[in-house]
Amino acid sequence: MELAKRTVLISAAALSLVLGYRFLGDLSRQGGIGNYLESRERSSELKKALEFINAYHVDGDASEIGVLTESAMEGMISQLDPYSEYLDFERLKRLDEDTKQEFGGIGVQVEMRDEYVTVVTPLEGTPGEKAGLLRGDRIVEVDGESLKGLGFTESVAKLKGRPGTKVAISVVRENEPDRLKLEIIRELIEVDNVHGAEILNEGIGYLRISQFGRRTGEELSEVVEFLLERGMQALIIDLRNNPGGLLDSAVEVASQFLPHGELIVSTKGRHDSMSEEWLAVNHGQYHEFPLAVLINPGSASASEILAGALKDSGRAKLVGDKTFGKGSVQSILPLGSDTGLKLTTAKYYTPGGYVIHERGVEPDIVVEISPQEEANLIIQRSRLKTMPTEEFVEQFEFEPIEDKQLNKAVDLLEAIVAQS
């Protein structure tokens, strides 16, 4: 009997310790006893409201508990920021596609701005680029259905579909009085992330990173070796209109140019678990030739992390215009067996302690170009090498123009190489 009592007491003490630990954890996460008690009270009110509406509202379909719960979730989360959202089963299933390098769609990278999907950049050679979509275009309708009020994931899903199928979109473009109506045939988008590798002037290499996917670090390594074999002494990395992608990929790219163990980026949130550091990993094997990086307002997220790391470390000079300013961390938190929450939980900081979010990364050398110049350069970059100049001018109705940002970077690196 004494042994049984002792066993019960030990079990009760263990349970008390577990419950106490959980209680202290809840207190810590919610910012103290006051917030904890208020959240418990408010949660109880929300539960009662759901029960009353479900039981007594005249419209039984509208007051079904699942519908009410999803509406409450989406309404609550929509007040936070443009990147947090409730994820039902379909949204969770589609989320992984955002970071894959192969999918069916029109080939544009987008962000949510002013309640609409907005083009950050069309990917080179894709149906979106061929249809004439430009950075800043707002996609307001898909197949006749307005996107206003839809979440980011749901809006993007409407643009995707089986390769070969047609999608009709309505676009609002700045300084255009009427909506643009476009019909685009979806394609299987197989995305290479590193483009345009060449030696521009003697010893000055150039490459463009269009986004950061799973293969970007490997692609970059191969392209750099290709340029080195052709006598490259300095490199221009073009991150203009790069909307970002995978953080690990940006870290892998930065690690090819920074000493082993050098800080690349850090995050800070409300809790220690959301605060992390990412360091260069290369075991002492990294490139030390001079670097210049091209940036503009279309450079976002992972591209800002790379640019900030190379700038703050003194490893590269940034040329162009200030970046977009998307530097927040979204964590996927499970709610049920097939639902979740994509929640902004931290912000990114450059090695110098500069917060990227809503501020962007400033260039070392400011070279501004107009939106029209930028639109012409995008067309020129993808089309001019594929046709005679006369045919290009006749089709696109402008003479080839100077890329002032690129030329400034070339001049900068030539001066550095000449002094070395």
Sort strands 263-269 and 340-349 into parallel, antiparallel or unpaired: antiparallel
Six-digit token string for 182: 């476009």
Question: Under a CB-based contact definition with an 8 Å cutoff, are residues 120 and 139 in contact?
Answer: no
Residue that is written with structure tokens 């994820």 in the block: 87
Question: Under a CB-based contact definition with an 8 Å cutoff, are residues 310 and 257 in contact?
Answer: yes
CA 277 to chain centre: 19
61 is catalytic: no
Six-digit token string for 246: 């995978």
Q: Find the catalytic residue in 210, 249, 301, 303.
A: 301
- Angle of helix 33-56 relative to helix 2-29, nearest 10 degrees? 90
312 is catalytic: yes
For residue 350, report the phi and psi dihedrals to the nearest 5 degrees: -70, 165
Six-digit token string for 37: 């008690």
Question: Any idea how long the chain is?
Answer: 420
Six-digit token string for 378: 């995008």
Q: Find the catalytic residue in 88, 137, 312, 321.
A: 312
- Residue 305: which of 377, 212, 393 has the closest Cα? 212
CA 376 to chain centre: 25
CA distance 129 to 378: 9
CA distance 197 to 207: 4
Residue 53 CB neighbours (<10 A) = 17
The contacts of residue 111 (CB under 8 Å, 6+ apart) are 82, 117, 118, 120, 243, 300, 324, 326
Q: Find the catalytic residue in 322, 326, 342, 408.
A: 326
Residues forming the active site: 301, 312, 326
